[in-house]
Structure 1
């Protein structure tokens, strides 16, 4: 693997994302002199694309002047391609503009492919640079705020059962308690002689608010008024401010 070529390949514009991936894979296999000879199938497996697609993009890279292809005859008459990554300016009418101008990647060795050669064969190390960049660019998932539970905001001078009844009443009438509402109602009930009676009265009358001034001293904390006494005309008060 040539890290210098990998960096240059990442900065080179080739006009196609798959072609860019093939170029990076060639750089991943290449020596510092820019030589490599991976098979079409190896590149296709590593890039997760078709073999024919690899052939097409390597041919296009050659037309753009980014790669030079040399055919090699094997000892048994078979042949394979040797790729020299040049990353020079593109040539030809169909070329796509690429990155900064380069005159090559150093002297080209003419030796064989034995142990003394500086060439490298297939590299099975994954191309992690693209993955790392994608992960870095991905926005962090927003954490969902926990749902507010009004039972946790019970005023200190109200019994647990009465406050639970009040929370249930507000849910039933479609007026769920919020943190701000709970804090405001706690201030309203602070120092009252019978806060439970204030809440029970609002529940009995179907009110959405709490009205401490409507509960007289001496009222029982657990006392609820289920309905008005029609023989007592004192219940006929103006309720315009109860809602």
Structure 2
């Protein structure tokens, strides 16, 4: 079968059939061979496609590229029968569940819909690990809490660095959330950025900060070697703007409109 996805440059789409991973692709069309015995004549089959687009092209030319659609454009499935599609996007659609961070902060990953990127998410039952390599293709979530104690009367630029010695060979991407704020996306096989400056309003300069990573692997055994916070420079002075309002898991999913700073 042939899958056509519109992801923009560096986007990807991962394809499963009846729970078996068939592979991944970038923007455009790709054909997948269905393994023998994976489907049976006359019985339902479930095709699942995860599309990660990279947003619209910037509108700096008159070629119309900025108006191109994004998402799953076409699927050609051989054989006869009824085909029904279901689509899953961000919680609330045009009415985001999180009115503070807004419509464009979150996507449609299952973990985003479940609030795993938010402070106070119920992660106590998650397994503890020091490794960030996935044993199979797909999306895996990681979360940690970091206590900061940045010096007062200084302006410190804090960055999140992703380290990988694979030389861009490993195909995976990392969606970065800091206290629920979408801070950036690292794409290992594209690059070149491996260090992301965290806006000061996302951080609690003196206190606990929740960092969540959604790692989407196109291959088994890939992922960062390490992820760490780094000091990208500290200078005396500056204005302490404080932390943005950062409502947590219970506030966002409970439907309350947050007031003040979280």
State whether TM-score is above 0.5.
Answer: no
Which has more helix, going by share of residues? 1
Q: TM-score, structure 2 length as denominator? A: 0.17
Which has more strand, going by share of residues? 2
Higher RCO by CA contacts (8 Å cutoff, separation 6 or greater) = 2
